Amino acid sequence: MLASLFVDTFRFIGDNAALLLQKAAETAELAFAALGIAMLIALPLGLWLGHRHRGLSVALGVSSVGRALPSVALIGFGIAILGIGFWNNTVALVVLGVPPILTNTYFAIEGVDRDVVEAARGMGLTETQILTRVELPLGLPFVLAGIRISAVFVIATATIAGLFGGGGLGDIIANEPAYGLAGVLAAALCVSALALLTAGALGAARNAAFRRMAPSA
Partner 1 sequence: MNGFRVADGGGPVIPNFGHGSACLKNNGWFCPEWVRDHWGDILQPALVQHIELTVIAVSIGFGIAFLLALVGFRVRIFDAPLGAFTDFLYAVPSIALFQLLVPFTGLTVTTIEIALVSYTLFVFYRNIVEGLRSVPAEVLESARGMGLTRRQTFWRVELPLAVPAILAGVRVATVSTISIATVAAFLLYYGLGGPIFDALAQPDIFRTELLAAGGLAILLALSADALLTLLQRVLTPWNRLG
Residues near partner 1 (CB under 8 A): 1, 5, 64-65, 67-74, 76-77, 79-80, 152, 155-156, 159-160, 162-164, 169-170, 173-174, 176-177, 181, 184-185, 187-188, 191-192, 195-196, 199
Which residue's CB is nearer to partner 1, number 132 or number 192?
192
Rounded to a whole number of angstroms, the minimum distance from the CB of residue 186 to partner 1 is 10
Which residue's CB is nearer to partner 1, number 143 or number 160?
160
Rounded to a whole number of angstroms, the minimum distance from the CB of residue 51 to partner 1 is 20
CB 92 within 8 A of CB 31: no
Say how far residue 195 (Cα) sits from the centre of its chain.
9
Q: Is the dihedral of CA 172, 94, 30, 202 positive or negative?
A: negative
Q: What SS3 string covers 125-159? A: CCHHHHHHHHHHHHHHHHHHHHHHHHHHHHHHHHC
Rounded to a whole number of angstroms, the minimum distance from the CB of residue 68 to partner 1 is 3
Rounded to a whole number of angstroms, the minimum distance from the CB of residue 189 to partner 1 is 9
Which residue's CB is nearer to partner 1, number 120 or number 152?
152
Which residue's CB is nearer to partner 1, number 42 or number 190?
190
Helix axes 86-110, 56-68, angle to 10 degrees: 140
d(Cα 77, Cα 143) in Å, to the nearest integer?
30
> CA nearest 89: which of 21, 183, 195, 170?
170
Q: Which secondary structure element, helix H or strand E, spans residue 202, and what is its range?
A: helix 176-213
Rounded to a whole number of angstroms, the minimum distance from the CB of residue 16 to partner 1 is 16
Which residue's CB is nearer to partner 1, number 23 or number 136?
23
